Structure 1
C-alpha cells in the first residue's frame, strides 16, 4: 500500500495538501470549463437525436433532478454517474459527455444533481442519491451499474452499504468508485470541513470503509496512477476492508491519469474503466 501524504506532525496544512487536487494538478482550474463545454455539446447532440431526457425530477428540492441519456435500441440496463466536487461543488450539467462510453455498450445513463454542502449534510446527500436511484431505476429495466467520482465515488459506495434503504438494491450489478473517498475521518481536520460540517459521529457513520457491505456486493475501485498518495490509499482501502465480507472487490490504477483526467476514460467505450462499469 502506498504511504499517506501527511502525518500528525504539521496537522492542518499537511491534511489540506493531502486532499488538494487543484493545487497538485497543473492547469487544474481550466478543467471545469472544458468539462462544461464537452458536456453541453454532448447534450445538444443527444437531444437532437431524441435520446436525451433532461431535468427529470426525483424529489421536490431545486437540485433533485437528473438527466437520462438513451442508447440506440432498447437499453440492456442502467448506468449511473454521480459527480464529485467534495459534496460542495458542481451539478449534473458538467458531466454529460461521460455517458458516451456506457451508452456505446447499450446502457442508458443517468446523471443526478444533489443538494450541496453546507445546505445539506453528507448523510442527507446519501439519502438523496438513494431516492434518485429508486426513481431512475423505475424508468429503465435491467441491471444497474453505478459509478461516481471522488465524492461521487463515496456516494455510490454508500449505496452498497447494508444500512442504506434502497428499494432497487437487488438490481445493483456492479459499482465502480473512481478516486473515491471511502473513509471520511481524515476530512475532519481539513479547512473544507467548515463547509462540510462533519463531526466524528457522522464521519464514522458515512464512511463505507467502516460499514458492512450488502451481501453479494460487487465493487471495483479505480484511481489514476498519478493521483495524490492519499487518494491512492483511499482507493485500496475499501476493497481491502470489504474483501471477505460477502463482497466481491478489486482495485486498479490507470497509468498516466490524475484526479481530473481519470474520468475522461468514461468517454471511451474500449477503456478499462468503461469496460469495468459496463461489465464487458
Structure 2
C-alpha cells in the first residue's frame, strides 16, 4: 500500500513549534512516566540479557530471546538523538515475545557528546552484530529519531524490513530549531544524514524489503508530511511502502499500540517477520 502523492517540500509553518514535541504535548511527562513504570515491570517479570556491542558504557543492548531460532526485531528509541536510553522501553518486548519474536533494545551515545554520524555507526554495529548472532538480518522499528535510524539501516540493507513510527527522515528542517544546539547540523551534514536522500533498499527491486511509515494523526503537520513524503518517495522508486496516520494519537501516545500484543501495529510487525 502506498501513500497518495504529497509535496515533499517543507511546510512554511514555524519549525520550532512543528518539531518541539514536548511543547506540543503538555501532558507528555505523564506518558513518559508510564513508559518508565511499565518498563521496570517488564524487566522484573522477564529480565533481559545484556549484550555489549562496543566498549562504551551506553553501547549495550537488552535482548529477550523468544526461542533459539526466533526472528529478531530491534527497537530504536527516540529522544532527538540527545535523550533517553533502552531502559525506558522494555515494555515493548512482551507483546512481540508473545508472537514468538525476539526483541533487542539498544542504547546509544547521545549528542552533543558524540556526532549524529557516530550514532548512525553505532546502530549499524547493533544490526550487524545481531545478524552475526542469529544468521539473519533483524527487522528494525523505531520512534522519532529511532525511525530515522531504522530507515538508515533499511537503506543500507542491514535490515529485513522497517517500521518507522513518527520518523524524521529529512533533517534539514531541524537546522533553525533549538534542537540543533546539540545536533550541530549544517545543510551539508543534514542532507548527508537524511535517509530521504539515501538510495532505496535493494535499489527498489520488487519483492525486497518494505518500509512502513506510521505517525499519530494528532501530530504536527511536519511529522505527518515527513512520513508521507518518505513513503511516497521510496514507493516511486519501487519499494513496498505503507503510510498510516493513527487517529487521535500524538507524538508520545503513538507508541501505545506497541504495548498490546493484539494491536494491528504489533501483529503487522510479527507478520512482516514471518514473510
Say how many residue pairs are matched.
Answer: 262
> 2:3 corresponds to which residue?
none
1:159 and 2:153 correspond: yes
Asked whether the equivalents of residues 154 and 161 of structure 2 are also in contact (C-alpha less than 8 Å), the reply is no
Measured after TM superposition, the shift of residue 74 of structure 1 is 4.0
Whole-angstrom CA distance in 1 between matches of 2:268 and 2:192? 28
Other structure's SS at 1:182 match: coil
> 1:34 corresponds to which residue?
34
> 1:193 corresponds to which residue?
180
Measured after TM superposition, the shift of residue 136 of structure 1 is 2.3
TM-score by length of 1: 0.88
1:110 and 2:104 correspond: yes
Asked whether the equivalents of residues 221 and 236 of structure 1 are also in contact (C-alpha less than 8 Å), the reply is yes
> 1:66 corresponds to which residue?
61
Other structure's SS at 2:168 match: coil
Whole-angstrom CA distance in 2 between matches of 1:103 and 1:236? 30
Asked whether the equivalents of residues 74 and 106 of structure 1 are also in contact (C-alpha less than 8 Å), the reply is no
Whole-angstrom CA distance in 2 between matches of 1:103 and 1:2? 39
Whole-angstrom CA distance in 2 between matches of 1:3 and 1:58? 36
1:7 and 2:17 correspond: no
**Residue segments in structure 1 that go unaligned for 5+ positions in a row:** 9-13
Deviations 1:226-257 (A, max 9, x none): 11111111111111111132421111111121
> 2:49 corresponds to which residue?
53
Whole-angstrom CA distance in 1 between matches of 2:8 and 2:198? 23
Whole-angstrom CA distance in 2 between matches of 1:20 and 1:6? 15
Measured after TM superposition, the shift of residue 62 of structure 1 is 1.7
Asked whether the equivalents of residues 127 and 138 of structure 2 are also in contact (C-alpha less than 8 Å), the reply is no
Measured after TM superposition, the shift of residue 157 of structure 1 is 0.3
Measured after TM superposition, the shift of residue 42 of structure 1 is 0.3
Whole-angstrom CA distance in 2 between matches of 1:218 and 1:68? 24
Alignment of 1:142-221 (within 5 A): 142=136, 144-162=138-156, 169=158, 172-215=159-202, 216-221=208-213
**Residue segments in structure 2 that go unaligned for 5+ positions in a row:** 1-5, 203-207
> 172-181 or 89-98: which moved more?
172-181
Measured after TM superposition, the shift of residue 33 of structure 1 is 2.1
Other structure's SS at 1:189 match: coil
Whole-angstrom CA distance in 1 between matches of 2:91 and 2:82? 21
TM-score by length of 2: 0.89
Asked whether the equivalents of residues 7 and 229 of structure 2 are also in contact (C-alpha less than 8 Å), the reply is no
